[in-house]
Structure 1
């Protein structure tokens, strides 16, 4: 009888274990509240697709389960953090890595470090950031020249002409990033057009086709993506070898060549900077001008600051920190547009947020788009109001999220500089006006982008 009881108990334990494994609805992520996988293979991917984007999915997830919530990418458990308080607990112990870069490199299949652990990762990050800083220092006149060409073009338009922000500012970002990252050969428009073709093919699939599994299900799309990635990688490798032979020291790739990085690592870092740099710079400028066009008061306040700090002089790197209101305008642009709505880190060691234990090697999502419009952190969160950044508590929250201060994503820091040059040139010459009846819809992927072209008109300052 005892033997039968032992057998019965053992059988029940095995059966329960089988049920937990075979039926997704029985599984949880370490007791953290959240969704069970709706499909054994895909996890909650279909739920994300049904919501339209990962950001919209995270909004609903945190509304239902609170600031710490879990879901599944395929068979992998994921924890999402959706409030400033919870992010503070997680970011502080992990400040040595950049969450946006980590996510982008993971999607591209690249390693974040130099192959030898955390210390090498920190060193590589330092090389990358120093390369961007030196590039800006050496090439600000180039940024100013490209911006002045664009503003001059707009100045020549009739005042009722509709200007397509997305087309013009993506073009500005492409020219700026390619020339500053890869050198003078990209002054040739044909080189920029060829780069853009591959850039668009890669960027359109990152964070979208991978996320919903649609890339794997389409042979033609996957082939197009892999061809574009291969062409971009081989082009960057060839360019790095040419620059090394020429021993030039003026642009981003040259700074990387002075380091101990391998050819492969230099190519990867050039890929990350050009991909992310173009997307973030273009969309920061697009959203900034779009929001400015809705407020004559903000434009006038910015104009007054530019006149006081710069007078009739062109902007310089040493003057940028003095443009405090301009910084507030860009901060509020990032916040209102949810410019980078999602970032991620891999939990390298077991961690804890509130009472929740996050196991080692869990993917941790930073639901930045949720946090940036959380009414408990920001008053009237959907309103564009640069004056909110006059409050120290607001600046501290923004800094914690990695959008300002020492933890700023280096691509975003680069974009802030380009956007500041653009605003300092444009606002002193022109006034921006929105088109009545134009509805702005957002495509929230790795970088929030207007779903359709957005238009403005301009008039000359008297």
Structure 2
């Protein structure tokens, strides 16, 4: 699975599965329950096709359910996703054995086909999935990302101007909105290019996506809309607009390719098939776009929230930014000198549990942790359970960037910290993108402003595949 490809989407999918199965009234019991050798749960009596998904819903999220499951049964445990037996693992040793596994269980994401379609890389395994990753990963290599710094700086400057206008007033700034807006602009500019250098197409894209997402969220409780209904028409209107925007981008790139020396993600999308497979370009473009802005937008929100709560860490970071950059912008040469900024990034990923889980499967029976796992059994890698394990992270809910100092990193066991999924061919393709974008934005904003939380806010994490804040985070800023 690409852990951060479909940043919030996968949570929607998981909960949609929960609700749809809870509505089932069948009393059948999974036929192979007696053959399972992994410790864990059996379906609650009378749940039938729901399996343990009722327990997942009761816990509040899959991550919270897995925290309880592993506390009770240890580093490897099973439960029932409807009629499908699922194994969850939370062990650095077992993680090591899964690093090179490419397969991702598509059945966990089928309910989201109305948006990303069956052509999405989210459903691609075997050689087809590998083929796409080999091509697409070129757009997120070290060399490719070096050309994105200026775009990241551009969107950071736009936010800086907004904050500057509020710095001499008592204005309250909606942090999450600013960061999500910024992240949408950043992925649009860097992945799709000059079509998004002004705000018109970005606004069209954002408004259309909001329309589609609103319909999908409501579908959690009432099901996907029937053709002909108002909800279905709204969904189709938003989706059609997004599709037209992608078509416009393709046409623009075809006309400008001879004069444009930049090679962006859209170029790799277009180069995969000849003639261009517009359906696949739309599906994969949308999948990567959503993954990109949900990941970085929420990562930035959490980072600035934690720094607003910890003024000492904020000042230490500001001092490093001023010392290392001396008024310059972040670039490929100086970024590695911002060591404390990287510690803030890492601790943000850990403390927020930004990516709580991922999933894989194998085509053959395999032994993991001393247990036999049947072929094609979905194997959840409980990344968030590891990130909150007191054995590796004392006082795990406390934000402390010193956990990632050079000295402390020497003591850490491998695979305990896997915030973007397990290393290998199915790690989140945009992890370098996320690190660089958030570095540029944090250096710009923390280097120029002091900020603090507005009083009387109760911010809690909402654990999806990407963890987001429970409500808008309001801050006040002042110039340094």
Q: TM-score, normalised by structure 1?
A: 0.83
Separation in 2, partners of 1:318, 1:395 = 29
Quote the offset at 1:83 in angstroms: 3.1
Quote the offset at 1:337 in angstroms: 0.4
2:411 alignment counterpart: 393
Q: Is the 8 A contact 1:431 1:459 kept in 2?
A: yes
Separation in 2, partners of 1:439, 1:156 = 26
Quote the offset at 1:30 in angstroms: 1.9
2:139 alignment counterpart: 131
Quote the offset at 1:259 in angstroms: 4.2
Q: Is the 8 A contact 2:121 2:284 kept in 1?
A: no
Quote the offset at 1:223 in angstroms: 6.7
Separation in 2, partners of 1:159, 1:149 = 18
Separation in 2, partners of 1:193, 1:81 = 41
- Secondary structure (helix, strand or coil) at the match of 2:50 reads coil
Separation in 2, partners of 1:105, 1:24 = 21
Q: Is the 8 A contact 2:205 2:245 kept in 1?
A: no
| Cα deviation 1:407-438 (Å, max 9, x = unaligned) | 75222321221110011111221112123332
Is 2:181 aligned against 1:171?
Answer: yes
Quote the offset at 1:130 in angstroms: 1.1
Give structure 2 stretches of 5+ with no counterpart: 1-26
* 343 and 26 in structure 1: CA distance in 2 versus 1, 3 angstrom threshold: closer
1:64-75 matches, within 5 Å, as: 64-75=72-83
* 269 and 216 in structure 1: CA distance in 2 versus 1, 3 angstrom threshold: closer
Q: Is the 8 A contact 2:387 2:417 kept in 1?
A: no
1:14 alignment counterpart: none
1:55-454 matches, within 5 Å, as: 55-89=63-97, 91-94=98-101, 96=102, 107=112, 108=116, 109-110=118-119, 112=121, 118-133=126-141, 136-157=145-166, 158=168, 160-200=170-210, 215-216=223-224, 225=235, 228-229=238-239, 231-233=241-243, 235-237=245-247, 239-247=249-257, 248-250=260-262, 251-260=264-273, 263=277, 264-390=279-405, 391=408, 392-394=410-412, 396-398=414-416, 400=418, 402=420, 409-454=428-473
- Secondary structure (helix, strand or coil) at the match of 1:445 reads coil
Shifted more, 313-322 versus 155-164: the winner is 155-164
* 141 and 70 in structure 1: CA distance in 2 versus 1, 3 angstrom threshold: same
Quote the offset at 1:455 in angstroms: 1.1
Separation in 2, partners of 1:33, 1:364 = 14
- Secondary structure (helix, strand or coil) at the match of 1:138 reads coil
* 336 and 192 in structure 1: CA distance in 2 versus 1, 3 angstrom threshold: same
* 425 and 366 in structure 1: CA distance in 2 versus 1, 3 angstrom threshold: same
Q: Is the 8 A contact 1:174 1:196 kept in 2?
A: yes
Q: Is the 8 A contact 1:294 1:433 kept in 2?
A: yes
Q: Is the 8 A contact 1:132 1:414 kept in 2?
A: yes
| Cα deviation 1:188-235 (Å, max 9, x = unaligned) | 4342233223434555687x788x785358886677556644553454
* 364 and 165 in structure 1: CA distance in 2 versus 1, 3 angstrom threshold: same
- Secondary structure (helix, strand or coil) at the match of 2:430 reads helix
Q: TM-score, normalised by structure 2?
A: 0.80
Separation in 2, partners of 1:88, 1:204 = 39
- Secondary structure (helix, strand or coil) at the match of 1:394 reads coil
Quote the offset at 1:144 in angstroms: 0.6
1:11-50 matches, within 5 Å, as: 22-24=28-30, 27-28=33-34, 30-38=36-44, 39-50=47-58
* 31 and 130 in structure 1: CA distance in 2 versus 1, 3 angstrom threshold: same
- Secondary structure (helix, strand or coil) at the match of 1:452 reads coil
Is 2:59 aligned against 1:51?
Answer: yes
Higher relative contact order (CA 8 A, sep 6+): 2
Separation in 1, partners of 2:387, 2:160 = 31
Separation in 2, partners of 1:194, 1:138 = 25
| Cα deviation 1:78-117 (Å, max 9, x = unaligned) | 111123333233x2342x57x79997799543464997x7
Separation in 1, partners of 2:90, 2:76 = 6
Q: In terms of Rg, which structure is larger?
A: 1
| Cα deviation 1:364-399 (Å, max 9, x = unaligned) | 112222211111121221110111112223384455
Aligned length: 435
- Secondary structure (helix, strand or coil) at the match of 2:309 reads coil
Q: Report the RMSD for the aligned CA atoms in angstroms.
A: 3.3
* 401 and 192 in structure 1: CA distance in 2 versus 1, 3 angstrom threshold: closer
Shifted more, 66-75 versus 332-341: the winner is 66-75
Separation in 1, partners of 2:181, 2:416 = 29
Give structure 1 stretches of 5+ with no counterpart: 1-20
